[in-house]
C-alpha cells in the first residue's frame, strides 16, 4: 500500500465545531492509502460487495461489475507479490498476479460464478488487444523518430544472434539431459520461441502433426506446457534485470532501447512534441481513437493477406510516425492513453487472463527435470546474448536483453507479463517484433525441418 497522507499540525488547536472537519481529514487520509491504484476505503467496500454477491451466487457479467472484480483481484495479487521478500525483486507482483489466480481456480478456491463471469468477459471482449493497441501506438508515437528507426533496424541483430545461440545451447543441454540434440531443439527449444499459443504452439502442432502423421491434439498437449514454463523463466529473468538496472544505471535506459544523440531535434514535430505540457481531454480521446483506428486497419490487412493484426498495426503506426502524419499534441494524447493503460489496466488484465486463460495443470506438467533444465538454458542464453550483443551495438544491454527474453514469451499476453515484471512497458513495440515476427520465422523453419528430417 502507498500513502501520501500528511498529519495536520494544527488539529489539536481547533475548536469543537471543527470536529467534523477533523473527522473528514481522517477519512481523507485513509483515502490517500492505496492498494495499487484503489483508495483503501473504496477497496474495502469493493471487497465486501464482491463477497456479498459471491455468497448470493449472483455475480453480474455487466462491464462495470467485471471491472470492479478484475481491478480488485489484480491489485490484490500485485500487492501480495510486492510484499514477499526475494520474490519482490524478480517481478513478484506480476508473478503473483499471473499464477495465484490460476492456482486458486484449479483448486476451486474462487467462487464458481465469479470464475465463470470473468472467463466469459475476458474471452468475449478479448481486451488484451485493446491494451496492446494503447501501449504500442502510444509508445511509438511518443518515441524519438531517430531512436525508432535505429532501434527497429538494430533489434534484429541481437534477436537473430540470441535465437541461434539459444538453439545451439538448448539442443546441447537437452542432449546432455538425455532428450537428444535435434529432439530438444524441435520439441523444447522451438516451442519456447514460437511466439505463444495462438500464433505459435497451435500452428506448430498442426505442422508437426501433418508432417509426421500424428494427432494434433497429442502434439499440442506435449508442447503447450513448455510454452508456459518458458514464459515463467523469462518473467523471472526480466524481474532480475529490473533489479540489476536499479543498481547499475549505466546499463539501462529505463525503457529506452538506445541512447538519444545530443544533436538538435530532427524536425519541427519533435521540438513541438517536447514543448507540449498541457493537453485537453478531447486530445487524449483523439489519441486513443487514433490507435483503435490503426488496429482496425490492421484487422483488415489480416483478412486480406493473413498478416496478424498486431503485426500489421505495428508496421502501420511506425509508418504514421515516420511520415509525421499526426501533430505533436495528438502524439502526446496517445502517450497519456499509453500511461493510463500501463498504470491502471496491466494488473487487472493479468488477473483476468490468469483466471480465464492460464491453466495451472499446463504449467505443472512441464516440470520434468530434463525439460526444466533445457528451457532454463534456452531462455538464459537468449537473454544473455541480447545483453552482450546489445552492449556491443551501443544499445542499452538491459533493454535489449528484455526484448530478447520476449522471444520466449507467451504471445501478446506473455509480452505484457514479461514487460510488467521488468517495468519496461515502453518496449512493447520491440517485444512484438520479437514475439510475432521472431515466432513466425521460428515456426516456419521448424515445420520445414521436421517435414524434411521426420524426427519423432
| Residues 398-453: tens digit of each pLDDT | 999 999 999 988 777 788 889 988 988 888 888 888 887 788 788 888 888 877 76
The arithmetic mean of pLDDT across residues 245-267, rounded, is 75
In this prediction, residue 14 carries a pLDDT of 44
Listed in sequence order, the residues at least 6 apart from 174 whose beta carbon sits closer than 8 Å to its beta carbon are 180, 181, 183, 184, 185, 188, 189, 370, 374
Say if 117 falls within a structural domain: yes
Top-confidence residue, 183 or 379: 379
In this prediction, residue 198 carries a pLDDT of 62
In this prediction, residue 274 carries a pLDDT of 45
The count of structural domains within the chain is 1
In this prediction, residue 161 carries a pLDDT of 94
Mean pLDDT computed over every residue of the chain: 83
In this prediction, residue 10 carries a pLDDT of 41
In this prediction, residue 366 carries a pLDDT of 62
Q: What percent of the chain has pLDDT over 90?
A: 32
Give me the count of residues in the chain. 456
In this prediction, residue 24 carries a pLDDT of 58
Q: Do 137 and 317 meet the contact criterion of CB atoms below 8 Å apart?
A: yes
Say if 201 falls within a structural domain: no
- At residue 13 the predicted structure's pLDDT band, cuts being 50, 70 and 90, is very low
Lowest pLDDT segment from 81-85, 207-211, 265-269: 265-269
Does the structure show a pLDDT above 70 at 4? no
Does the structure show a pLDDT above 80 at 71? yes
**Angle (deg, nearest 10), helices 328-344 and 281-305:** 80
In this prediction, residue 322 carries a pLDDT of 85
Say if 138 falls within a structural domain: no
In this prediction, residue 53 carries a pLDDT of 92
> Which range of residues forms the domain containing residue 80?
28-125
Q: Do 287 and 330 meet the contact criterion of CB atoms below 8 Å apart?
A: yes
Highest mean pLDDT among 5-19, 239-253, 254-268, 407-421: 239-253
The dihedral sign for the CA sequence 36, 37, 41, 44: negative
Say if 383 falls within a structural domain: no
In this prediction, residue 22 carries a pLDDT of 55
In this prediction, residue 7 carries a pLDDT of 39
Say if 116 falls within a structural domain: yes
- At residue 227 the predicted structure's pLDDT band, cuts being 50, 70 and 90, is confident
Q: What is the dihedral of CA 5, 10, 13, 19, to 10 degrees?
A: -40
The arithmetic mean of pLDDT across residues 216-229, rounded, is 75
In this prediction, residue 160 carries a pLDDT of 92
In this prediction, residue 265 carries a pLDDT of 42
Say if 58 falls within a structural domain: yes
In this prediction, residue 176 carries a pLDDT of 94
Say if 54 falls within a structural domain: yes
- At residue 8 the predicted structure's pLDDT band, cuts being 50, 70 and 90, is very low
Distance (Å, whole) CA 445 – CA 435: 15
Top-confidence residue, 219 or 248: 248
- At residue 72 the predicted structure's pLDDT band, cuts being 50, 70 and 90, is very high
The arithmetic mean of pLDDT across residues 136-155, rounded, is 80
Lowest pLDDT segment from 114-123, 191-200, 312-321: 191-200
- At residue 273 the predicted structure's pLDDT band, cuts being 50, 70 and 90, is very low
Say if 51 falls within a structural domain: yes
- At residue 163 the predicted structure's pLDDT band, cuts being 50, 70 and 90, is very high
pLDDT digits (tens, 9 = 90+) for 83-113: 888 777 777 787 788 789 989 998 999 999 9
Does the structure show a pLDDT above 50 at 299? yes
- At residue 69 the predicted structure's pLDDT band, cuts being 50, 70 and 90, is very high
Does the structure show a pLDDT above 50 at 268? no
The arithmetic mean of pLDDT across residues 352-358, rounded, is 83
Amino acid at each position: 500500500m502507498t500513502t501520501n497522507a500528511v498529519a495536520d499540525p494544527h488539529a489539536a488547536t481547533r475548536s469543537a465545531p471543527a470536529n467534523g472537519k477533523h473527522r473528514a481529514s481522517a477519512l481523507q487520509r485513509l483515502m490517500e492509502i492505496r492498494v495499487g491504484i484503489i483508495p483503501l476505503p473504496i477497496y474495502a467496500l469493493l471487497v465486501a460487495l464482491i463477497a456479498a454477491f459471491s455468497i448470493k451466487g449472483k455475480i453480474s457479467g455487466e462491464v462495470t461489475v467485471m471491472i470492479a472484480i478484475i481491478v480488485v483481484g489484480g491489485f490484490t495479487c500485485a500487492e501480495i507479490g510486492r510484499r514477499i521478500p526475494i520474490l519482490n525483486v524478480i517481478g513478484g507482483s506480476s508473478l503473483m498476479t499471473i499464477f495465484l489466480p490460476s492456482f486458486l481456480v484449479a483448486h476451486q478456491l474462487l467462487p464458481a460464478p465469479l470464475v465463470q463471469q470473468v472467463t466469459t468477459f475476458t474471452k468475449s471482449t478479448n481486451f488484451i488487444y485493446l491494451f496492446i493497441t494503447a501501449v504500442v501506438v502510444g509508445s511509438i508515437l511518443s518515441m524519438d523518430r531517430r531512436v525508432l528507426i535505429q532501434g527497429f533496424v538494430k533489434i534484429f541483430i541481437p534477436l537473430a544472434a540470441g535465437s541461434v545461440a539459444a538453439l545451439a545451447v538448448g539442443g546441447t543441454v537437452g542432449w546432455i539431459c538425455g532428450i537428444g540434440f535435434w529432439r530438444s531443439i524441435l520439441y523444447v527449444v522451438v516451442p519456447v520461441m514460437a511466439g505463444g499459443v495462438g500464433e505459435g504452439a497451435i500452428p506448430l502442432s498442426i505442422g508437426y502433426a501433418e508432417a509426421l502423421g500424428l494427432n494434433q491434439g497429442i502434439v499440442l498437449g506435449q508442447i503447450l506446457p513448455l510454452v508456459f514454463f518458458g514464459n515463467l523463466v523469462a518473467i523471472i529473468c526480466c524481474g532480475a534485470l529490473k533489479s540489476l538496472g536499479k543498481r547499475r544505471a549505466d546499463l539501462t535506459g529505463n525503457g529506452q532501447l538506445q541512447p538519444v544523440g545530443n544533436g538538435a531535434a530532427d524536425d519541427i514535430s519533435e521540438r513541438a512534441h517536447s514543448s507540449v505540457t498541457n493537453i485537453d481531454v478531447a486530445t487524449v480521446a483523439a489519441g486513443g481513437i487514433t490507435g483503435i483506428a490503426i488496429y482496425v486497419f490492421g484487422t483488415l490487412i489480416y483478412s486480406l493477406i493473413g498478416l496478424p493484426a498486431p503485426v500489421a498495426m505495428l508496421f502501420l503506426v511506425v509508418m504514421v510516425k515516420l511520415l509525421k502524419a499526426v501533430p505533436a499534441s495528438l502524439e502526446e494524447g496517445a502517450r497519456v492513453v499509453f500511461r493510463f493503460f500501463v498504470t491502471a489496466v496491466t494488473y487487472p488484465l493479468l488477473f483476468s487472463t490468469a483466471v480465464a486463460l492460464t491453466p495451472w495443470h499446463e504449467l505443472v506438467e512441464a516440470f520434468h527435470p530434463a525439460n526444466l533444465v533445457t528451457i532454463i538454458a534456452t531462455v538464459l542464453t537468449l537473454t544473455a546474448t541480447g545483453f552482450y550483443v546489445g552492449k556491443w551495438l551501443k544499445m542499452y544491454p538491459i533493454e535489449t536483453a528484455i526484448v530478447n527474453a520476449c522471444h520466449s514469451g507467451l504471445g501478446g499476453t506473455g509480452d505484457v507479463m514479461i514487460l510488467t515484471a521488468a517495468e519496461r512497458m515502453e518496449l512493447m513495440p520491440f517485444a512484438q517484433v520479437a514475439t510475432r515476427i521472431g515466432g513466425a520465422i521460428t515456426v516456419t523453419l521448424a515445420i520445414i525441418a521436421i517435414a524434411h528430417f521426420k524426427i519423432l
